[in-house]
């Protein structure tokens, strides 16, 4: 490796660290803001013992935790230099929709409509991130790094082809049912059925993220150690 290439590699490693730091800070700030919106919306239902709203509050908390944890996993797995503005801009857009949705915990019709839109935004984010992963594919060289890359691509495709389309379809269907049959879904509290299913899905999806990080830990460590070991 020539001296010029060594310098370029060292510079990229440093820039990768900087970009990761920017991403982690951004994720914490925007999800902290979303949590603040949820907390403000949850005060009256919690103090007033509006029990029918509580599943929405619990689901909203899981939404924040899912976004934060998945974004963290993505950052540690494949985010690096050069800084990807499209990816970051979608973060801002998705968080805006998320925050507005979290403000509607007491209105099932608006909740499901906005969460359908949020699912579509996250769907687009996964599609965009798959493009980012492919751009960085050349950085995954060792067997462990290639295993990490394969796992990243597999998870992105799973979310693009199945998880996010199903979430979008379910939230859209739930909105339509609440809108079309308010006498059943609002007055008789049948809306608790779709929000209950959403809560269960969110718990499973959050746990899936925990398992995902556990599976990738050794590969992520190997990748970072490899970058710092190279002259």
- Reading the block at residue 37, the tokens are 């919106």
3-state DSSP assignment of residue 203: helix
pTM over 0.85: yes
Whole-number Å distance between alpha carbons of 212 and 129: 16
Distances (CA, A) of 33 to 96, 98, 155: 10, 10, 27
Residue segments in the chain with a per-residue pLDDT below the cut of 50? 1
CA 64 to mean position of chain CA atoms: 8
- Give per-residue pLDDT as tens, 61-111: 999 999 999 999 999 999 888 788 999 999 999 999 999 999 999 999 999
pLDDT given at position 15: 83
pLDDT given at position 112: 98
Going from N- to C-terminal start, the domains of the chain cover: 3-229
Angle of CA points 105, 96, 89, to nearest 5°: 155
pLDDT given at position 103: 98
Is the separation of the CB atoms in 3 and 11 below 8 Å? Answer: no
pLDDT given at position 142: 87
pLDDT given at position 9: 67
Q: Count CB-CB contacts under 10 A for residue 226.
A: 15
């Amino acid at each position: 490796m020539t001296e010029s290439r060594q310098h370029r590699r060292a510079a990229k490693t440093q820039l990768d660290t900087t970009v990761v730091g920017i991403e982690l800070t951004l994720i914490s700030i925007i999800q902290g803001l979303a949590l603040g919106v949820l907390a403000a919306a949850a005060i009256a239902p919690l103090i007033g013992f509006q029990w029918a709203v509580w599943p929405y509050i619990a689901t909203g908390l899981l939404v924040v935790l899912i976004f934060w944890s998945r974004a963290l996993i993505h950052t540690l797995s494949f985010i690096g230099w050069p800084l990807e503005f499209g990816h970051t801009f979608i973060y801002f857009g998705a968080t805006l929709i998320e925050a507005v949705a979290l403000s509607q915990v007491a209105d099932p019709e608006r909740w499901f409509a906005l969460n359908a839109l949020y699912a579509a935004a996250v769907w687009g984010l996964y599609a965009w991130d798959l493009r980012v992963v492919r751009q960085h594919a050349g950085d995954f060289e060792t067997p462990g790094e290639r295993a990490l890359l394969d796992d990243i691509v597999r998870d992105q495709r799973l979310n693009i082809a199945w998880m996010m389309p199903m979430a979008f379809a379910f939230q859209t269907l739930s909105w339509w049912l609440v809108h079309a049959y308010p006498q059943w879904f609002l007055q008789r509290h049948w809306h608790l059925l779709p929000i209950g299913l959403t809560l269960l899905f969110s718990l499973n999806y959050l746990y899936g993220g925990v398992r995902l990080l556990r599976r990738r830990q050794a590969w992520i460590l190997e990748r970072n150690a490899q970058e710092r070991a190279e002259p």
